[in-house]
Structure 1
Amino acid sequence: MRSEVVRFLIAGGSAAAINWLARILLSLVLPFEAALIVAYGIGMAAGFWLYRAFVFRAASHGSLSGQLALFLAVNAVGAAVVLAVSTLMIDGLTGLLPDLKPAVAQALGHGVGIAVGAVANYLGHRLLTFGATLRPQPQSR
């Protein structure tokens, strides 16, 4: 289980880095909220592949369509968590530090939002998305 958590952190960290960097680039052409949602989708696609291939390896034998549907549902909740936490953090940072540049507040707020969302995502993916294929199967005699 511990190695699974380590693999999740590495895969999730990679997907989060893709998400975070994509949001920064997308913010050049989109409003922050729209850039965050599009970047979340990009990171989510990378995350599904990484989690299925490297974290929950036994799940690679499960139903791809079923896992994808649950993955999307878990990540929809995760996206809402990331958006809410990011927005609250940005508001809090700009309220406490009015001279803080908006781009810095957005980068920090989004980073905290991703971290909080990662906890919710791990639990959702461990229990729901890939959970059925990870449960021990009864041994036949």
Structure 2
Amino acid sequence: MRSIPPPKRQEVRTFLTYFLTALLGASINFISRIFYRNFFDFDTSVLCGYLTATILTFIPTKRYAFAAAETGNTGREAVKFLLIALLALLVQVYGAKYTLHYVANPLLPRTPQLWRETGSHVVGMGMSFMANYFGHKLLTFRSTGVYDRFRQRR
């Protein structure tokens, strides 16, 4: 029976640093969703909160979480960051929406709506955290060579 090797120290450090920058993003997301809820329905306020957090966390994620401050690829990384963020946005919005409609509302009908929405939003944020982490780790702040091959064809 083969044992799984422990994660490398750098991988653990990257994950923890990403977790801290994601915590910043989650705080911005959460607080701005509450603000936007004064003007929009739940789904739209989750979307607006997510977009606000995405814009404000690109630089901290690039610089601290993935130590990619000096890559010289900020434009490419921003495009990949936004693509991954859009995928994770769908995960968050639909995760929160379906959790609210199919879990929180049926199971907790007497709980105040604000608490059901808040819990559902947190579930959606957790789902998008994982989508963002693996997307950024495997694509955004890593050279895949696709851009270089594309430029050589020109």
Quick check: TM above 0.5? yes
Are residue 40 (structure 1) and residue 50 (structure 2) matched?
yes
- Contact residue 26 and residue 39 of structure 1 kept, 8 A: yes
- Root-mean-square deviation (CA, aligned residues, Å) is 1.3
Match of 1:69?
Answer: 79
- Distance in 2, matches of 1:62 and 1:109, equals 39
The structure whose Rg is larger is 2
- CA displacement 1:19-44 (0-9 Å, x = unmatched): 01100111011111111111111110
Conservation of the 8 A alpha-carbon contact between 2:108 and 2:116: no
Structure 2 CA distance, aligned partners of 1:87 and 1:64?
33
CA contact (8 A) 1:59 1:130 kept: no
Displacement after TM superposition at 1:59 (Å): 4.9
Q: Is 1:4 the counterpart of 2:14 in the alignment?
A: yes
1:46 Cα deviation after fit: 2.0
Where in structure 1 are there 5+ consecutive unaligned residues?
Answer: 134-141
Is 1:14 matched with 2:38? no
Taking the TM superposition and a 5 Å limit, the aligned residue runs for 1:108-119 are: 108-119=119-130
Gapped runs of 5+ residues in structure 2? 1-10, 145-154
**1:130 maps to which residue?**
141
The structure where helix makes up a greater share of residues is 1
Alpha-carbon separation, structure 2, partners of 1:84 and 1:33: 8
Q: Which moved more, 1:97-106 or 1:118-127?
A: 97-106
SS in 2 for 1:83: helix
Q: How many residues align?
A: 133
Structure 2 SS opposite 1:58: coil
Q: TM-score, normalised by structure 1?
A: 0.89
Deviation at 1:125, TM superposition (A): 0.2
